[in-house]
Amino acid sequence: MKQVGICGIGAAAPQKVLTNFDLEKMVDTSDEWIVTRTGIRERRVLEKDEGILGYIVEAAEMARKQSGIAPEHIDFVINSTLSPDRISPAQAFEVARELQANQAFCFDLNAACSGLVYGVAAAESFLKTRDVKYGLVTAGEQVSRFLDYTDRSTCVLFGDGAAALMLTNDNPEHLIIATELGGNPAMSEEVVIGGVRHLLNNQHNDYYFKQNGKTVFRFAVGKIKELYETVPEKAGIRPDQIKYLIPHQANIRIIDAAAKEIVSGGTEVIANVDRYGNTSSASIGLALHEVWGRFNKGDLILLVGFGAGLSWGGVLIQW
């Protein structure tokens, strides 16, 4: 069986910064509440007339350049998104067009905040089983478009951003040594965003992001802990051998609670939710990109995603 690994990474976010103090002027909230309940201090959001495509392309081009792969050699592009600029064609085709990856097959994938992990696992399977060599996985999210900026319980939580990973089975250096995907469809109503039906019927309230925050919180903490134990086991590795754990960035309290339950002192848990908020499927990529320069040969890095669906997934990388 061919080995698959990561050979390039990129990330990008809009210039516009929305701080907690900006939000104080928009809804009945406070910097103090937002920081203590979520750890978020600011987030990046698109300007009104911007799309997310430019940022996905920026991240993708960064990953491509780092990998040294010519655009025409990219075999496929998977773009994770719950918030594309438009419904069709898949945003992945636009990313490939902008990169001039003119031989690529392309599709979008929606697994909400678990999307990047789902994308990497799907790409890994393609690279193991199909006649392909290079696959680009991108994540581009603009959840700000689905927020009701009069609802303090949701509008403070999210930001916009993009990330990209290039994968290959051609002598990869940073190996994917285990993956896990999961879902609980019975809990599909716990985190929702509406669709065209709501827009066309002017049901704006049902169009906006909504969640059962407390249920999702408990689920997330439990799932991070569970995946921290089960994913390394698949590769014959002990959890305490993991050097870096990069969970989906939804709330610092989720990350801290999970970190506390992880008894191993050897694992550093990475967080950047203070500066980006929850960027859905882009969040793990943005965090991974920030710490990429710190890894050493042999380091084990676990990515853990969770979100609407409810969905979850893990990817274990050996540097």
Q: What residues act catalytically?
A: 113, 248, 278
In 3D, which of 267, 68, 78, 244 has the Cα closest to residue 172? Answer: 68
| Residue 305: count of CB within 10 angstroms of its CB | 32
Q: Which two tokens stand for residue 148?
A: 């009701």
- Give burial (CB, 10 Å; 0-12/13-18/19+) of 241: middle
Burial string for 107-133 (b: 16+ CB within 10 Å, else e) reads: ebbbbbbbbbbbbbbbbbebbeeeebe
Question: Segment 60-119, which members bind ligand UT7 (CB under 6 A)?
Answer: 113
Whose CB is nearest to ligand UT7? 213
Cα 33 to Cα 30, 191, 217: the distances in Å are 5, 22, 17
Of the candidates 101, 220, 255, 304, which one interacts with ligand UT7 according to CB under 6 A?
220
Exactly one of 194, 213, 235, 256 binds ligand UT7 (CB under 6 A); that residue is 213
Stretch that binds ligand UT7, among 32-40, 44-52, 66-74, 229-237 (CB under 6 A): 32-40
For the bound state, the minimum distance from the C-beta of residue 314 to ligand UT7, rounded and expressed in Å, comes to 16
In the stretch 275-314, what mask flags binding to ligand UT7 with x, by CB under 6 A?
---x----------------------------x-------
Instruction: State yes or no: residue 33 binds ligand UT7 (CB under 6 A).
Output: yes
6 forms bridges with which residues in the sheet? 167, 174
Please identify, using beta-carbon distances, which residue of 150 and 203 lies nearer to ligand UT7. Answer: 150
Task: State the DSSP H helix or E strand holding residue 313, giving kind and residue range, or none if neither.
Answer: strand 311-318
- Nearest distance in Å: CB 145, ligand UT7: 15
In the bound complex, what is the minimum distance in angstroms from residue 180's beta carbon to ligand UT7? 18
Nearest CA-CA partner of 242 in 169, 283, 299, 168: 299
Q: Diameter of the chain by CA atoms? A: 56
Q: Decide the pairing of beta strands 268-269 and 105-109.
A: unpaired
Q: CB 98 → ligand UT7: shortest distance, Å? A: 27
Angle at 154 between CA 148 and CA 158, to 5 degrees: 95
Q: Per rule CB under 6 A, is residue 41 in the interface with ligand UT7? A: no
Options 152, 174, 210, 289; binder of ligand UT7; rule CB under 6 A: 152
Considering beta carbons, is residue 38 or 169 the nearer one to ligand UT7? Answer: 38
Interacting residues with ligand UT7 between 234 and 273 (CB under 6 A): 250-251, 254
Q: Is 156 in the site for ligand UT7 (CB under 6 A)?
A: yes
- Cα 10–Cα 13–Cα 16 angle in degrees, nearest 5: 160
Question: What is the closest distance, in whole angstroms, from the C-beta atom of residue 68 to ligand UT7 in the complex?
Answer: 34
Q: Which stretch binds ligand UT7 (CB under 6 A): 60-68, 69-77, 152-160, 199-207?
A: 152-160
Which stretches of the chain bind ligand UT7, using CB under 6 A? Answer: 29, 33-34, 37-38, 113, 152-153, 156, 191, 211, 213-214, 216-217, 220, 250-251, 254, 278, 307
